[in-house]
Amino acid sequence: MSVPATLQSEMLQDETVRADAAAQPKPPEIAKPPAEAVERIVRMALAEDAPWGDITAQTFVAEEARLQAQLVAREAGVLCGSDVFTLAMHLAGDGSSKGDGSKGDGISVRFEVADGAHFAAGATLATVRGPARAILQAERVALNLVQRLCGIATLTAAYVRETEGTRARITDTRKTTPGLRVLERYAVRCGGGHNHRFSLSDAAMVKDNHLAALAAEDAAALTRALRDARSRLPHTVHFEVEVDRLSQIEPVLAAGVDTVLLDNFSLDDLRRGVRRVAGRARVEASGGVRLERIREIAATGVDLISVGALTHSARALDLGLDIGTRD
């Protein structure tokens, strides 16, 4: 009996995570998102969840009550979001704790696993101590964010593993959750992936709809239109053009582009495209990219594989906050 493609992807991802968790390599240094951007997101999420406070906790939990809780992994994965989780807890409390495990009137959070590290099912990722009301109020927001980010990091790691031994890099796209891009892009980095342009302001990327708007009727006209457009760009701006057929590659290269994006190409055409570009620009593959096809795509010789699914289709990882003894 054949296994559905979606189930195959989940099975392959689970096997990858288990293998990586057993290896336990030291996570690399990963550039973190700007602290002010993270705080803005967390404050917004807390205000959305408890605009006038947590009625349940304020009514049924004594003000002086304190708790200890553990963030526990229900399944294997890659950690991302320790700072986000910690900040949610601190902001729900009085903000005085620094997250170094020290005692105080506020909440303390101590992580046992660093962002970018693999962990096994059942692992205790962090311990939280502090006022019961604050911990209970922050619980859902903290979990929502860290589960989402761990899901992206874990899925990214599965894709990256499939490119081992090739030159290809796994990159994200702009298909992110509105308002959460800075966090989701960080999660991709935690999973070993790379970031594409952050926004429309960062690079010039001419796609099929732009080409249609140029109304270039033949190869020579396409080259002229792209060259004219490039002449108006600052010299520091990266210039990428998407093509959907092999015949567009030479006219696009003649315009002096930095990257050629081969969109929805077959494996054979990807190989042909790489040979035609012949090192004159970077080659990116995109469109129809699934986990079970990554190794084949990477083997064609492309430099980049952009995967929208990293952020638009990653499921939240199953993590829980287990309440232990009173602190």
- Examine the residue annotation and report whether 263 is marked as an active-site residue of this protein: yes
Verify that 128 and 225 share a domain, yes or no.
no
Active-site residue identified among 172, 240, 242, 284: 242
Instruction: Give CA–CA dist 214/194, Å, rounded.
Output: 30
Contact 244, 272 (CB under 8 A): no
In a domain, 245, yes or no: yes
- Examine the residue annotation and report whether 175 is marked as an active-site residue of this protein: yes
Instruction: Give CA–CA dist 215/259, Å, rounded.
Output: 21
| Domain residue limits at 261 | 165-312
In a domain, 185, yes or no: yes
Verify that 16 and 128 share a domain, yes or no.
yes
Active-site residue identified among 175, 282, 290, 293: 175
Which DSSP helix (H) or strand (E) runs through 11? Answer: helix 5-23
Verify that 115 and 228 share a domain, yes or no.
no
Verify that 107 and 139 share a domain, yes or no.
yes
Active-site residue identified among 174, 207, 271, 282: 207
In a domain, 5, yes or no: no
Active-site residue identified among 32, 140, 174, 280: 140
Verify that 307 and 318 share a domain, yes or no.
no
Verify that 156 and 231 share a domain, yes or no.
no
Our CA angle for 64, 68, 71, nearest 5°, is 140
User: Structure pTM?
Assistant: 0.87
In a domain, 70, yes or no: yes
Neighbouring residues of 37: CB distance < 8 A, sequence distance ≥ 6: 182
Verify that 308 and 319 share a domain, yes or no.
no
> For residue 109, what are its two tokens?
């959070």
Residue 97: predicted pLDDT: 37
CB count in 10 Å sphere of residue 226: 25
Verify that 148 and 212 share a domain, yes or no.
no
Beta pairing class for 259-263 and 239-243: parallel
Instruction: Give CA–CA dist 12/119, Å, rounded.
Output: 17
Verify that 217 and 278 share a domain, yes or no.
yes
pLDDT tens, per residue, the chain with 327 residues: 343 444 344 444 444 444 454 445 566 689 999 999 999 999 999 999 999 999 999 999 999 999 999 999 999 999 999 999 999 999 998 643 334 433 335 899 999 999 999 999 999 999 999 999 999 999 999 999 999 999 999 999 999 999 999 999 999 999 999 999 999 999 999 999 999 999 999 999 998 888 777 766 688 888 998 999 899 999 999 999 999 999 999 999 999 999 999 999 999 999 999 999 999 999 999 998 999 999 999 999 999 999 999 999 999 999 999 998 665
Neighbouring residues of 194: CB distance < 8 A, sequence distance ≥ 6: 169, 170, 171, 172, 188, 304
- Examine the residue annotation and report whether 207 is marked as an active-site residue of this protein: yes
Verify that 69 and 186 share a domain, yes or no.
no
The DSSP string of 199-215 is STTT-EEE-HHHHHHHT
Verify that 116 and 153 share a domain, yes or no.
yes
Residue 44 sits in a domain of what CATH number?
Answer: 3.90.1170.20
In a domain, 3, yes or no: no
In a domain, 2, yes or no: no
User: How many domains would you assign to the chain?
Assistant: 2
Verify that 184 and 267 share a domain, yes or no.
yes
Instruction: Give CA–CA dist 180/192, Å, rounded.
Output: 19
In a domain, 90, yes or no: yes
Active-site residue identified among 39, 263, 318, 327: 263
Token pair 């287990």 is at which residue? 322
Residue 256 sits in a domain of what CATH number?
Answer: 3.20.20.70
In a domain, 27, yes or no: yes
Residue 100: predicted pLDDT: 41
Of 92, 127, 116, 125, nearest to 106 (Cα)?
Answer: 92
**Torsion sign over Cα 236, 237, 238, 244:** negative
